[in-house]
Amino acid sequence: MNNKIDTTEKSYFQWLEDDTATRWWHDSADPAEIELALEHKASGATTNPILVAGALASNPDFWKTEIGDIPEDLSAEAKTELKHKAVVQYAAAKFIDQYESSNGECGYACAQVSPAKAGYSEEMIKDAKKYAGWAPNISVKFPATAAGLDALEECIALGISVTSTVNYTVPQVIEVAERFNKAKARAEKAGIKPGKCFAVIMIGRIDDYLREVANDNHANVTEADINKIGIAITKRAYKIYQERGYEPKLLVAALRGTHHMLELCGADLIMSIHPKFQGPLLEAGTPRKLRIDEEVAPDTIERLSLMPEFVRAYEPDGMKPEEFITYGVVQKTLAQFQFTGWNKI
């Protein structure tokens, strides 16, 4: 791998396209931002309840035209679904050409199930079947809870593409890959083409969470150590995926700065990038090099490992699937998706 620093006049996105295996999805549902992302070769669109609610609130006149009149006698849940569908279908339409030209390898738009259903697999499966019918290039998002993983396996076996979200840990993404393998075998036995699978790592949110844990517990770690947490988890997960030949694609999301992008560059994965971090990466001359094989310093891992919550996230056997829903940042994110996203849609 070439570790030479490149300071050419290409933008970072041009360099990714030309020189690395890394690809990127656009992390927003805003129409104008999607258009700009397409200009810079985004190959998919991430949506979640917060992003959908934000898009609806920022351009109400546009979405009123897209959605049309909503019958007053519909339930709140049905009204939410209509709005959610309009935003997701809009994003899917913008990426359908990529989906078709790549034979379904890229060009997806995500549609996330209600965070209130994170513990109810049958309800998530029921919604997924509806969402998958919204467009050919929908990837249904499930949380990486035990119930969400059951839903993920069932849907992949039925040929529905899925994205596993609310993932922060090595054991979660390993379990996603293992469930995919089971689903693929089921699908092939039934003569069905299995759905695609993307495994999210919310890299910045795990940093945020363990920063709070470190402060609350007066842990002997520095801010520089904290900023390496998500990177260390992602690099370990990526190495395991490569060694075991797992088929799902890791999808790194919830960046907190360009450092997350820079430290993982060169990996055969997808970065989901919010517009606020796209700007610096569009500037020509940004220093860059392939860093995925550069391990986080052992002394940093040693200090972080004094925190049990880091160990649970970093070690491949740090948690069992039934523990995923109890991990602090999983509960925190589900609540944020519900109260600052879904309830506002």
Q: What does the mean pLDDT of the chain come to?
A: 93
**Within a 10 A sphere around the Cβ of 293, how many other Cβ atoms?**
12
Residue 258 pLDDT level (bands cut at 50, 70, 90): confident
pLDDT tens per residue across span 75-96? 999 999 999 999 999 999 999 9
Mean pLDDT of 290-313: 96
Share of the chain above pLDDT 90, in %: 84
Write the DSSP symbol of residue 300.
H
Give the H or E element holding residue 162: strand 162-165
Residue 19: pLDDT band (50, 70, 90) is: low
pLDDT band of residue 4 (cuts 50, 70, 90) is very low
Instruction: Collect all residues with Cβ–Cβ distance below 8 Å to 147 and sequence separation of at least 6.
Output: 118, 119, 120, 121, 124, 325
Give the containing element (helix H, strand E) for 328.
helix 328-339
- Mean pLDDT is lowest, of 1-5, 70-74, 139-143, 277-281, for 1-5
pLDDT at residue 271 tops 70? yes
- pLDDT score of 5: 42
Least confident piece of the model among 1-15, 148-162, 181-195:
1-15
Q: Is the pLDDT of residue 9 over 90?
A: no
- What's residue 1's pLDDT? 37
What is the CATH architecture of 12-344? Alpha-Beta Barrel (3.20)
At 280, the pLDDT band (50, 70, 90 cuts) reads confident
Give the lowest-confidence range in 55-69, 121-135, 161-175, 176-190.
55-69
Query: For residue 289, is pLDDT > 90?
Result: no
How does residue 208 score in pLDDT terms, banded at 50, 70 and 90? very high
Residue 289 near residue 3, CB atoms below 8 Å: yes
Per-residue pLDDT tens over the stretch 152-170: 999 999 999 999 999 999 9
Going by C-beta distance under 8 Å and a sequence separation of 6 or more, which residues neighbour residue 151?
A: 113, 121, 124, 125, 128, 142
pLDDT at 100: 97
Return the domain boundaries, the chain.
12-344
pTM score: 0.93
Two tokens at 195?
A: 């759905």
Q: What is the pLDDT of residue 2?
A: 40
* Spatial distance between the Cα atoms of 216 and 219, rounded to a whole number of angstroms: 8
d(CA 71, CA 76): 11
Cα separations in angstroms, 270 against 6, 17, 72, 131, 249: 21, 12, 41, 22, 7
User: Average pLDDT of 277-284?
Assistant: 77
